[in-house]
Amino acid sequence: MKILLIEDEQAVAGFIKKGFESEGFLLDIAYDGQTGQMFFLKGSYDVIILDVNLPVMNGFELCKLFKQQNNQIPIIMLTAFDSIDNKTTGFEAGADDYLVKPFEFKELLLRVKALTRRNLNEDKRVLTIADLELNISAKSVSRAGKRIDLTAREYTLLEHLMINKGRVISRVDIAEKVWDLNFDTNTNVIDVYVNYLRKKIDKDFSPKLLHTVVGMGYVLRE
């Protein structure tokens, strides 16, 4: 399990890092908002612990940005600001929890475990690769926070590829699983729909995710 900690007080950050690493967690530290945003965009995290009063960009702004790009990632606001107004601002920005300094590490650990446990249950309904996200429950797709509208067939094709991300899926397998029909070697309908899908999820984004493996099929990978 990997945590992103964005905290400008080095002593506090060191204390938190030591505690989580002793519990078997991996943890990256950013000491300002801009660096925190860079870590978020380049890495993959199970939870974010976020201070409010940060250099360059404050925690409330960061929380909004993070939730716009990945609404599933749990965020704990960690701050000395304990007023109801500040807590309200934090929760309205998208925070999942709010812990006031000073705090006991054990309480922070318990809150992180509770949030990640809840998120594991919810994430079974969300498929992701890079910045592409497919929400099975909502039947919605987005990339880099931008909604992508798909037809029912395009959605089913993408869902099948995302469930099997990293694996080369043959045209026969796609025909059986997505079209539910016996494969007709004379039709190019699968290739046509793969091209439709590629234009929607890859054309205006980087890196390209949907790849053709000549003579074998298609694969969704970074």
- List the domain boundaries for the chain: 2-124, 127-220
**Secondary-structure class of domain 127-220 per CATH:** mainly alpha
Assign a CATH topology to domain 2-124. Answer: Rossmann fold (3.40.50)
How many residues are present in the chain? 222
pTM above 0.75, yes or no: no
**Computed from CA positions of residues 168, 200, 63, 124, in that sequence, does the dihedral angle turn out positive or negative?**
negative
pLDDT along the chain (222 residues), means of 10: 91 93 91 92 86 90 86 86 84 89 91 78 73 88 93 90 89 79 68 94 94 93 90
Q: Do domains 2-124 and 127-220 have the same CATH topology?
A: no
26-75 pLDDT per residue, tens: 999 999 999 999 998 877 788 999 999 899 888 999 999 888 877 778 99
The pLDDT of residue 14 = 93
The pLDDT of residue 113 = 87
The pLDDT of residue 157 = 93
Cα–Cα distance for residue pair 93/66, rounded to 1 Å: 10
Burial class (CB in 10 A: 0-12, 13-18, 19+), 88: exposed
Q: For a pLDDT cut of 90, what percent of the chain falls above it?
A: 49
- C-alpha to C-alpha distances, 56 to 68, 109, 157, 176, nearest whole angstrom: 19, 27, 42, 52
The pLDDT of residue 20 = 92
